[in-house]
Amino acid sequence: MLAAAFGGSEVGFASEDVNPLEAGAQALRDRDWSQAEVQLQRALAVWPGNPDVQVLLAISMYHAGRTPDSAALMRQAIDQGTRYEARALYYLGMMQLEQGDPLAAQRTFARLIDRHPDSSEAAKMREAGTLTLQREEPRGANAGLGEFSGLVLVGYDDHPDDLADQANGSTADADAYLLGYFSVGMRFKPIHVRASYTHLDYLTVDRLDADSARFVVDHAFIVGDADSWVPRYSLRILLLEQAYFETRHDLSLRWNRRWNEDYETDVTPYVAYKSHPQRYGGEDGWVEGIDARATKYVGGDVLRSVFAAVGGDAFQADAAWLGWNEAAVACGAHVQLGWGIEGDATLRYRKRVYAAASPIYGVRRDDDAFGFEASVSRPLTKWLLVQAGGEHDINRSNIPDYRFDRDIATLGLLIIY
């Protein structure tokens, strides 16, 4: 019984009565915040001043939108020595962020990590800065063609978190997900405008759900018979769990040259600025980078083309430890396998060194990431393709919490018109 855990109280309940503490805890699990608050207020009357009951009550009040009252009660519970201190510190930090006091929240989260480094709440703090939409655009043959395209995809991800498995089980288990994407484009001479929207929904890990809206405008300047220059502006807005997370503005200039019938190159320097809501303000900053790619068209019966790519960027974050310098290389091939089936395969490596020591770990993070991905597609009609893919990722880091292996499998329908 929960009652026995709260100071060994001799308070009893008749069989027809409901233990308010157990009823309140169940209402919290059901996310019935108003009912939880009612029951936990009753529980606090039974166990007056109990700091563990105060934590549960403060959580229900916070989710009901009563942040100032819940923060005051949570501080009282922490001062009185609640056994749920890790959970209490996590929620108090969130309350302080909502109240517009990021410095106080930072101190609270630092206390959480220092006192309870192995807790699931500390693991959530270690995820800060790693939340990204993994797959923003459809992949595979002809993915970028057409003025309208849509993708419906089912995937399986055996390691959704970009973290090592935590001993306390706080990292997400393998999970299936759904991805929906659509894009529309219109040409207003001399510019081309496109807009797209992506929704990513993990079936059981809600905190990884994401939505992305993107707007792109560009124009191709053709110079002579071999060169084209494409200046481009794009705006992306990213939401996590339907809450605003990031706005990114990108400016780039792509230079494409077709040297002859067999060789083509692309060089694209770019600059971007990322901004976030106040609680993630340390991740605001500028990105400067360049990508280059060389493609050889083989024209064989099976092997159609191969490519090699290099790139790098630097992210200057407001919080220096979240910034990085990065270099990457990749190579791949495009094949035709018969019966209308086309395939793509890519190998890649990325080296990322962060700009300053992490305040959590006391060292500067240094990652080596390896990956392989492959996909096949086959047209069912002139405008509908089926595609399947797989991906294997390995991340090795000087910080053990960021070492992981990941496998993803996907199956989807791509509409192009």
For residue 168, give the nearest of 124, 111, 208 by alpha carbon.
Answer: 124
Task: Give the range among 46-50, 98-102, 124-128, 393-397 with minimum mean pLDDT.
Answer: 124-128
Confirm if 133 and 238 have CB atoms less than 8 A apart.
yes
Confidence check: pLDDT of 329 > 80: yes
Place of tokens 């990956």: 371
Confidence check: pLDDT of 207 > 80: no
The C-alpha atoms of residue 294 and residue 310 are separated, in whole angstroms, by: 9
Confidence check: pLDDT of 13 > 60: no
Token pair in block for residue 77: 């519970």
pLDDT of residue 282: 79
pLDDT confidence tier of residue 403, bands split at 50, 70 and 90: very high
Token pair in block for residue 380: 């069912």
Confidence check: pLDDT of 388 > 80: yes
Dump pLDDT digits (tens) for 17-40. 568 888 888 888 888 888 888 989
Confirm if 207 and 175 have CB atoms less than 8 A apart.
no
Place of tokens 């002579």: 224
Pick the CATH number of 2-116 from 3.40.30.10, 2.60.40.10, 3.40.50.970, 1.25.40.10: 1.25.40.10
> What DSSP assignment string belongs to 109-127?
HHHHHHH-TTSHHHHHHHT
Three-class SS of residue 71?
helix
pLDDT of residue 291: 95
pLDDT of residue 178: 92
Residue ranges of domains in the chain: 2-116, 148-416
Place of tokens 């692309």: 266
Beta bridge partners of 229: 221, 255
Dump pLDDT digits (tens) for 230-273. 999 999 999 987 788 899 999 999 998 888 878 889 999 999 99
123-137, 146-160, 222-236, 388-402 — most confident range: 388-402
Mean pLDDT across the chain, nearest whole number? Answer: 83
Q: Give the other-Cβ count within 10 Å of 407's Cβ.
A: 13
pLDDT confidence tier of residue 103, bands split at 50, 70 and 90: low
Beta bridge partners of 186: 193
| Check whether domain 148-416 has CATH 3.70.10.10, yes or no | no
pLDDT of residue 46: 86
For residue 19, give the nearest of 60, 32, 27 by alpha carbon.
Answer: 27
> What DSSP assignment string belongs to 309-346?
EEEEEEEEESSGGG-EEEEEEEEEEEEEEETTEEEEEE
The C-alpha atoms of residue 244 and residue 212 are separated, in whole angstroms, by: 10
Taking residues 116-121, what's their average pLDDT?
77
The C-alpha atoms of residue 325 and residue 2 are separated, in whole angstroms, by: 51
Which of residues 260 and 75 earns the better pLDDT score? 75
The phi and psi torsions of 305 (rounded to 5 degrees) equal: -160, 160
